[in-house]
Amino acid sequence: MSADWTSWPAPAKLNLFLHIVGRRADGYHLLQTIFQLLDWGDVVRLRVREDGDLVRAGDQVGMIEQDLCLRAANALRQRTGCRAGADIVLKKRLPVGGGLGGGSSDAATVLVALNEVWDTGLGLDELVQVGVPLGADVAVFVRGETAWAEGIGERLTPISLPGRDYVVLDPRVAVSTASLFQASELTRNTPPTTISGYLSGNGFGAGNAFEPVACARYPQVAAARDWLAQFGRARLTGSGGCVFIEADSALRAEEIVSLCPPGFAAHRARGVLKSPLLGALQDYRSTHR
């Protein structure tokens, strides 16, 4: 096997808003959202194996993330016919069930990184096709740009937003995405908006369709939102448990993080237009090509 380990970021995302605007005939929900990528997330370490084995080693993570990393690697091999293997180590920072996209981001990073180190040569569109069956959010992490999303989350339009600092508060409870999607009280018929309409203020105040359901079913999520709301407009991200606010500056974000009460975990993160994974890809190519 190769002795060279490489390290690849798997960034978090925030949903700045999230509306459900309908359902497809197959039952999938149709969404509108903005995926804001962050400079904070998990880290995937890889080492190529010549024996063809795929091995997860050196970490202790939830089965969902573990399965997604291996499924991503297997999906890439099935698509390309590659016979190489890999050691995969995942350093988890993002909470499972937090709505930050951790599992999807891990899978996307495995796809992008192994496509490079295995030299399988797939383009972005092809990698998205490989990744979407693993989760609709995989697409935004593969493409690596903050984006407006529609469909089931796979139809992406890059969007330029001012750089902002965020405080993300983790209530330390894993929210079941499936249970929220199945909730009878979930609002599924919000009128669609447009990018220009949202940015011009038509979407100002737009919230997250999952927030009232998550707060009603998980008191710890409601408590996290209520605590964070004293510092700004607190919102749920995705269909998970984490809530967030925009901060006036990195310093103010750090001040709020320092006040985090027992039972929660608080993090400061910076919104970025381009994923740090793209930077890692460029760095790898500059030293290996």
Query: Do 148 and 85 contact (CB within 8 A), yes or no?
Result: no
Q: Residue 62: its pLDDT value, please?
A: 45
Tens digits of residue pLDDT in 193-239 = 889 888 877 554 579 999 999 999 999 999 999 999 999 999 999 99
How far is 81 from 129, CA to CA, in rounded Å? 16
Q: Residue 258: its pLDDT value, please?
A: 98
How far is 128 from 176, CA to CA, in rounded Å? 25
Catalytic residues: 13, 137
Average pLDDT, the chain: 92
CATH fold for domain 165-199+208-272? Alpha-Beta Plaits (3.30.70)
Q: How much of the chain exceeds pLDDT 70, in percent?
A: 94
45 pLDDT band (50/70/90 cuts)?
Answer: very high
> Does residue 66 carry a pLDDT above 70?
no
Q: Residue 205: its pLDDT value, please?
A: 54
Tens digits of residue pLDDT in 139-166 = 999 999 999 999 988 899 999 999 999 9
Tens digits of residue pLDDT in 159-190 = 999 999 999 999 999 899 889 988 999 989 89
CATH code assigned to 5-159: 3.30.230.10
Give whole-number Cα distances, 197 to 203, 211, 265, in Å: 6, 22, 35
Delimit the domains of the chain by residue range: 5-159, 165-199+208-272
